[in-house]
C-alpha cells in the first residue's frame, strides 16, 4: 500500500493563495468569520505558541512568538494569548521531558478555560516549530492540543507550511498523531518549491457556515491577483505525480534513519547540547556549556560561523541563532546526504573546537 496520503477527507474545501503567510492570514480570517456566521460574537482572538513562526504579514506576525522577528511590530498586532513552546530541552516551565508536555498542555488548558469565549482558534506548527529553532514537540503533545481544542470548542489551525508534503516522513505532520485539524495551511513543498502556491483547507462545517442568500452577505472576502495561479497549480500537480512515481515517501524513510544516525554522532560533541528532528527536519543546538546548557552569546555568531565554514565545503545550510538547521531536499541521494552530514560534523567540530 502506498504511504502517500491525501489530506484528511474531512478537509475537503480548498482556498488557494500564493504563499505561506497568506495561507495563515486566510485561516485566521476564516476562523474569525466562521463564529460570526454561527451567531457567536466575541471570538476576536487566537491562541498561539511562544517560538511560533507563521509568516511575516501582520496577522501571521500576531500569532508568531519569536521576539527577534516579531517584537518590533507589537503595537500593530492583534490580541492573542501565548502558550508555552513545548521546548523540552529548555522548558520555560522548568520541567524535564516528559513532564514538560503535561505542563505545557496544562497551560493551554487554563488559557482555554479562562478565555474560551474570546477565542476563535488555536494555531500550531504540528510536531516541530521550525523557524523558532527546530523545536520538536514531545510525542502526544499535538494530540493533546487537539483534544483541548475539542473540549473547549475552539477551532484548531494546523500550519503545515513547513511540515507538509513529506518533510516529517509522512505526507502531513498531523498524520503522526492521527490529528485532523479544522483548518490546515499548506505551501512550500506543495510545488516542490518551484512556483509560489499555497492552500488553506477547511472542513465542510466551516465552508457551510459561509453559505447563504446573496442578501446575507456571508462571502469570505479575500482575494489576490495570483490566487490559484494555473501555472503554480500545474507545478503542484507535477510535484504530486513525482511523489507517487518516485516513491518519495517510501524512499525517505531510509534517509531519515541515516540522518538520525549522524545526529547521534554529532550530539556526542562537547558543544552540542541537543539534536532533534521530525523526519527530515532537524536542528543541532550548539551550547557554550553542555552541562549547564549555557548558550553561546549571540555576539559570538556560532551558528553563522558554522554555516559560513560549511559553505566553503559546498554545503549550504542556514543557522537560527545557535541552532544549525538541517533540511535536505527530499530527493537527496543517501550518498549526498552522507557527504553533507560529514561536512556538518567536521565543521561543527572545527568551529566549536571540540
Ligand X SMILES: Cc1ncc(COP(=O)(O)O)c(C=O)c1O
Residues that bind ligand X (CB under 6 A): 19-21, 24, 53-55, 125, 130-131, 159, 161-162, 187
Nearer to ligand X, 51 or 347 (CB): 51
Nearer to ligand X, 125 or 274 (CB): 125
> Could you tell me the smallest distance in angstroms from the CB atom of residue 238 to ligand X?
19
Nearer to ligand X, 197 or 340 (CB): 197
> Could you tell me the smallest distance in angstroms from the CB atom of residue 53 to ligand X?
5
Nearer to ligand X, 24 or 120 (CB): 24
- For residues 50 and 70, what is the distance between their CA atoms, to the nearest angstrom? 11
Question: Which of 87, 69, 135, 123 has the alpha carbon at shortest distance from 284?
Answer: 135
Question: Which of 182, 162, 183 has the alpha carbon at shortest distance from 173?
Answer: 162
> Could you tell me the smallest distance in angstroms from the CB atom of residue 293 to ligand X?
25
> Could you tell me the smallest distance in angstroms from the CB atom of residue 331 to ligand X?
20
> Could you tell me the smallest distance in angstroms from the CB atom of residue 164 to ligand X?
9
Nearer to ligand X, 55 or 84 (CB): 55
> Could you tell me the smallest distance in angstroms from the CB atom of residue 162 to ligand X?
4
> Could you tell me the smallest distance in angstroms from the CB atom of residue 92 to ligand X?
20
Nearer to ligand X, 152 or 196 (CB): 196
Nearer to ligand X, 55 or 138 (CB): 55
- For residues 284 and 262, what is the distance between their CA atoms, to the nearest angstrom? 11
Question: Is the distance from CB of 213 to CB of 50 less than 8 angstroms?
Answer: no
Nearer to ligand X, 185 or 240 (CB): 185
> Could you tell me the smallest distance in angstroms from the CB atom of residue 6 to ligand X?
20
Integer angstrom CA distances of residue 286 from 244, 256, 300, 329, 337: 37, 21, 12, 23, 21
- For residues 191 and 165, what is the distance between their CA atoms, to the nearest angstrom? 9
Closest residue to ligand X, Cβ-based? 20
> Could you tell me the smallest distance in angstroms from the CB atom of residue 187 to ligand X?
5
Nearer to ligand X, 20 or 84 (CB): 20
Amino acid at each position: 500500500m502506498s504511504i502517500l496520503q491525501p489530506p484528511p477527507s474531512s478537509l475537503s474545501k480548498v482556498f488557494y493563495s500564493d504563499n505561506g503567510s497568506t495561507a495563515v492570514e486566510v485561516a485566521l480570517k476564516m476562523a474569525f468569520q466562521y463564529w460570526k456566521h454561527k451567531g457567536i460574537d466575541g471570538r476576536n482572538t487566537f491562541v498561539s505558541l511562544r517560538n511560533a513562526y507563521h509568516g511575516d504579514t501582520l496577522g501571521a506576525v500576531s500569532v508568531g512568538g519569536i521576539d527577534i522577528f516579531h517584537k518590533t511590530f507589537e503595537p500593530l498586532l492583534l490580541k492573542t494569548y501565548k502558550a508555552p513552546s513545548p521546548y523540552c530541552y529548555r522548558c520555560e516551565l522548568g520541567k524535564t521531558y516528559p513532564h514538560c508536555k503535561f505542563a505545557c498542555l496544562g497551560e493551554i488548558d487554563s488559557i482555554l478555560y479562562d478565555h474560551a469565549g474570546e477565542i476563535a482558534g488555536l494555531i500550531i506548527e504540528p510536531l516541530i516549530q521550525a523557524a523558532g529553532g527546530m523545536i520538536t514537540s514531545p510525542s502526544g503533545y499535538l494530540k493533546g492540543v487537539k483534544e483541548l481544542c475539542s473540549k473547549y470548542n475552539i477551532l484548531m489551525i494546523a500550519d503545515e507550511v513547513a511540515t507538509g508534503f513529506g518533510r516529517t516522513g509522512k505526507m502531513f505532520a498531523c498524520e503522526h498523531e492521527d490529528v485532523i485539524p479544522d483548518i490546515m495551511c499548506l505551501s512550500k513543498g506543495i510545488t516542490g518549491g518551484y512556483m509560489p502556491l499555497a492552500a488553506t483547507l477547511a472542513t465542510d462545517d466551516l465552508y457551510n457556515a459561509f453559505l447563504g442568500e446573496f442578501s446575507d452577505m456571508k462571502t469570505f472576502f479575500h482575494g489576490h491577483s495570483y490566487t490559484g495561479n494555473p501555472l503554480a497549480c500545474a507545478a503542484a500537480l507535477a510535484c504530486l505525480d513525482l511523489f507517487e512515481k518516485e516513491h518519495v515517501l517510501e524512499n525517505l524513510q531510509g534517509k531519515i534513519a541515516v540522518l538520525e544516525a549522524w545526529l547521534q554522532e554529532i550530539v556526542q560533541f562537547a558543544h552540542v547540547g541537543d539534536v532533534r528532528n521530525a523526519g527530515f527536519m532537524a536542528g543541532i543546538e550548539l551550547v557554550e556549556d553542555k552541562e549547564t546548557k549555557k548558550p553561546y552569546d549571540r555576539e559570538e555568531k556560532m551558528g553563522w560561523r558554522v554555516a559560513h565554514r560549511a559553505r566553503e565545503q559546498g554545503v549550504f545550510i542556514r543557522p537560527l541563532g545557535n541552532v544549525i538547521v538541517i533540511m535536505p531536499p527530499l530527493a537527496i541521494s543517501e550518498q549526498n546526504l552522507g557527504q553533507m552530514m560529514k561536512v556538518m560534523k567536521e565543521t561543527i567540530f572545527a568551529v566549536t573546537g571540540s
